[in-house]
Amino acid sequence: MTGTPSFPRVMIVGGHGAVGTLFARALVASGTTSLTLVDRRASPVPVEGIVSIQDDACAPARATLEAVEASDLVILATPEEVATEAAPRMLSHMRAGSLLVETLSVKSRFAAMLEGVQTRAEVLGVNPMFAPDLGFAGRSVVAVPYSDGTGTNAFLELVARQGARVVRLGAQEHDRACAALQAATHAAILAFGMALQTAGYDLASAEPIMPPPHRTMLALLARILSADPEVYRDIQVANPFAAEMRARLLEAHRALDRAANTDDPSAFHGVIGELRALFGGRDADYAKLCAQIFEVKMPD
């Protein structure tokens, strides 16, 4: 790394978690020389050059606030209830030209909270649309700028340099998109698993004969089950548009059931025909992607 880093002094609240670690690595690689991690949990084994403070960001100690005042960048890699309570306290101590970044999966309530907060700092929301262990390269990060400026642009440029695609949206636009992209997707996968469970599904018996689509659905289910349940609960509970998407899934299952329970084949053919319109002519591209996914073999 050559030149002056955009954010030489950084604090990450929740810095020992997966999202905090993702951004910490990118910042250190970009030249950040002073990194302070704040977490309610005790610090793991100390790392040279990183200061770890065990503290509650919702009721921060003086040492934490002094670190906030000295920081060019503060990242809140925390659950929503912590971020919305901690942000006003942090922002009141941040200097002009500094930047606060939240990493929430829901943006509209944080945006509403900010309307009553006065600060000299810029504020940005980001949402990595992937599991943190996959890394930035080739993946998308949604950016929701609550205010704009040089710090916001520098941070998004840093994310883009990691190989990520940065897409800017408004807070409510973000939440509506995520209700479809995350809430509906995860709900469908979880419901698939719940249906198998109630049917007395036996993996050992199914494994020798399972077709690729079923194996892929099981892999998606296993991916969800391997993570912190609160991550996926938050997407279903906190997003104000998630309940609407789950209701649409329920109605879609009923419509499919009606189409399958009639002697008229045109009903089912009609469902398939209508769904093709979703792809806007790109169904062949996605079918090719599916074939590539199906080529992946189970690990030994």
Check whether 288 has a pLDDT greater than 60: yes
Check whether 2 has a pLDDT greater than 50: no
Mean pLDDT of 50-59: 92
Residues 133 and 259 in one domain: no
299 lies in a domain?
no
Q: Tell me: the pLDDT tens digits for 213-255?
A: 999 999 999 999 998 898 899 899 999 999 999 999 999 999 9
Residues 142 and 183 in one domain: no
Mean pLDDT of 254-272: 96
Q: Tell me: the pLDDT tens digits for 178-212?
A: 999 999 999 999 999 999 999 999 999 999 999 99
Residues 147 and 56 in one domain: yes
Give the number of other CB atoms < 10 A from CB of residue 292.
8
Domain end residue (candidates: 149, 169, 189): 169
| pLDDT of the residue at 48 | 67
Domain end residue (candidates: 127, 152, 169): 169
Kindly report the CATH number assigned to the domain that includes residue 89. Answer: 3.40.50.720
| pLDDT of the residue at 195 | 98
| pLDDT of the residue at 1 | 42
Contacts of 231 (CB under 8 A, 6+ apart): 105
33 lies in a domain?
yes
Mean pLDDT of 86-102: 96
Residues 84 and 146 in one domain: yes
Residues 261 and 286 in one domain: yes
Residues 65 and 14 in one domain: yes
Residues 16 and 121 in one domain: yes
Residues 255 and 188 in one domain: yes
Check whether 3 has a pLDDT greater than 80: no
Residues 240 and 96 in one domain: no
Domain end residue (candidates: 169, 192, 222): 169
53 lies in a domain?
yes
Check whether 4 has a pLDDT greater than 70: no
Which domain, by its residues, includes 215?
Answer: 174-294
1 lies in a domain?
no
Count of structural domains, the chain: 2
pTM tops 0.75, yes or no? yes
Q: Tell me: the pLDDT tens digits for 162-180?
A: 999 999 999 999 999 999 9
Residues 290 and 185 in one domain: yes
**How much is the CA Rg of the chain, to the nearest whole Å?**
22
| pLDDT of the residue at 298 | 85
Mean pLDDT of 121-132: 96
Mean pLDDT of 97-116: 95
For the chain, what is the mean pLDDT? Answer: 93
Q: Tell me: the pLDDT tens digits for 30-49?
A: 999 999 999 988 666 556 67
| pLDDT of the residue at 44 | 63
Residues 107 and 210 in one domain: no
